[in-house]
Amino acid sequence: MSAAQDFVVKDISLADWGRKELDIAETEMPGLMACRDEFGADQPLRGARIAGSLHMTIQTAVLIETLQALGATVRWASCNIFSTQDHAAAAIAAGGTPVFAVKGESLEEYWDYTDRLFQWPDGEPANMILDDGGDATMYILTGARAEAGEDVLSHPSNEEEEIFVAQIRKRMAQSPGFFTRQRDAIRGVTEETTTGVNRLYQLQKKGLLPFPAINVNDSVTKSKFDNKYGCKESLVDGIRRATDVMMAGKVAVVCGYGDVGKGSAASLAGAGARVKVTEVDPICALQAAMDGFEVVTLEDAAPSADIIITTTGNKDVVTLDTMRTVKDMCIVGNIGHFDNEIQVAALRNLTWTNIKPQVDMVTFPDGKRMLLLSEGRLLNLGNATGHPSFVMSASFTNQTLAQIELFTKGEQYQNQVYVLPKHLDEKVARLHLDRLGARLSTLSQEQAAYIGVTPQGPFKSDHYRY
């Protein structure tokens, strides 16, 4: 990269290919295109300086260009070291957007790129964060707490945290007061995923959230679609691209039966696998059982499993002890946000044979082999290309509406976590019906009055669960 270039991508010559796929994606992202039509003239994001940390895929490229069409200036990095689509990053960089994302980047590079989200050429800070998993937010907030003299850097618990801490220390040495200035300039954060939202609620609970946040994940048109129907398509896609294994007839265990687990179990069942589910929550366990899946413990099921997929957003779900019991050539992967669901660190001293990027065969001392996907990072983005455009359009339309809301009305919000109002959720869904040829029925005034709504909606109370 030359000094004049404000981007890092694998190969800028991939831009043409990326642009062609972007053009196709636009035809499958009606919600984002409708946002451009509806808000383009008003430019509600003029003056927004968005630091975006979200998988740098083709679909994200359409989101980036939508935010720009509404007036925003953006800088972008991927929120996972394996999830970037290099042609998408190239297309975005070629269009003049500072993007820092390479599929297979190192963790040092990952945190350097996250830092570069906040290094605007004019030296001014970002004023919005668009986050997926919370890393960009945690980077700024942890740095600001360190600058305030809090002891938040001295006890990294693993190698990844050491790298994170080293990056913060480096920035503190280079630019004293940077994190505090940056934190104070942020009007709000919009967060994409379950794990990032959990982090935000924890910050709110501890009184450590210094700006308002919108929980995009819990828009119904996000978590009940992206997490579920998205994984239904992209989980098996990832396993197939990684292994080409025949799935019909195989035994697959899905850990967790939340939204991602439901989509993942459906994905594997659709491929003909015999699916078993593990859960800690009796409600989700009952749902799994009544959806026709055997509910088991991983300890019991692992020795007969051909495929084990964890979807929990929790840590230490697939332990070393469990992996010792799996059969030869069992496929083990994660589709939750962080890589701590599988105890990958505990496998490092075994024999690893790299089959191809993001596919490793790990051999145990007794000769038993296990196929590990994406080194335990989310495999649908590491081994395949994530969810299809159509479902990401619903997610990213929520993101766009949330950015507009916090950028234009941030001062009306407390430093808390909010979800978008139901009428906007319904609007996002409405924007996606035409593409599927779906025709809505209309309530008469009498029918609407009878069920206590208006014919225009919202059609459900806030406590309705879908």
Annotated binding site for substrate: 57, 132, 192, 222, 226
- List, in order, residues 6 or more apart from 386 with CB less than 8 Å away: 55, 57, 59, 83, 230, 234, 380, 392
Residue among 18, 143, 212, 256 that touches ligand NAI (CB under 6 A):
256
Map tokens 């964890």 to a residue: 310
Identify the active-site residue in 26, 35, 53, 55: 55
Q: Which residues are paired to 372 by β-bridges?
A: 332, 360
For 410-454, where are the alpha helices, taking DSSP H only?
Answer: 422-431, 445-451
Q: Residue 349: which residues within 8 A CB-CB, separation 6 or more?
A: none
Q: Which stretch binds ligand NAI (CB under 6 A): 19-27, 308-316, 400-408, 437-445?
A: 308-316
Which residue ranges are tagged as binding site?
A: 57, 132, 192-195, 222, 226-227, 256-263, 279, 314, 335-337, 380, 387
Size of the site for ligand NAI (CB under 6 A): 31
DSSP state of 2: -
Sequence-ordered list of residues with C-beta below 8 angstroms from that of 286, at least 6 positions apart, any chain: none
Q: Would residue 13 show up in a list of annotated catalytic residues for this protein? A: no
Cβ atoms of 91 and 11 within 8 Å: the answer is: no
Residue among 144, 125, 118, 127 nearest 189 (CA): 127
Would you count residue 257 as binding ligand NAI (CB under 6 A)? yes
Interface mask toward ligand NAI for 214-243; x: CB under 6 A: ---------x--xx--xx------------
Binders of ligand NAI among 320-349, rule CB under 6 A?
Answer: 335-337
Active site residue 395: yes
Options 86, 131, 132, 135, the catalytic residue: 132
Pick the stretch among 168-176, 313-321, 396-404, 457-465 that binds ligand NAI (CB under 6 A). 313-321
Positions in 383-402 near ligand NAI (CB under 6 A): 386
User: Which of 70, 146, 83 shows the shortest CA–CA distance to 110?
Assistant: 83
Q: Which residues pair with 189 in a beta bridge?
A: 129, 213
Q: By CB under 6 A, is residue 261 in contact with ligand NAI? A: yes
Please give the helix or strand (H or E) that residue 221 lies within, else none: helix 220-223
Is residue 199 at the binding interface for ligand NAI, with CB under 6 A as the rule?
no
Q: Give me the least distance between CB of 130 and ligand NAI, in Å please.
A: 15
What DSSP state is assigned to residue 342? B
The neighbour count for residue 444, using CB atoms within 10 Å, is 9
Binding-site annotation, residues for NAD(+): 193-195, 227, 256-263, 279, 314, 335-337, 380, 387
By annotation, the residues acting in catalysis are 55, 78, 83, 132, 192, 217, 222, 226-227, 231, 337, 387, 395, 399
User: Which residues bind to ligand NAI, rule: CB under 6 A?
Assistant: 193-195, 223, 226-227, 230-231, 255-261, 278-281, 284, 311-314, 317, 335-337, 378, 380, 386
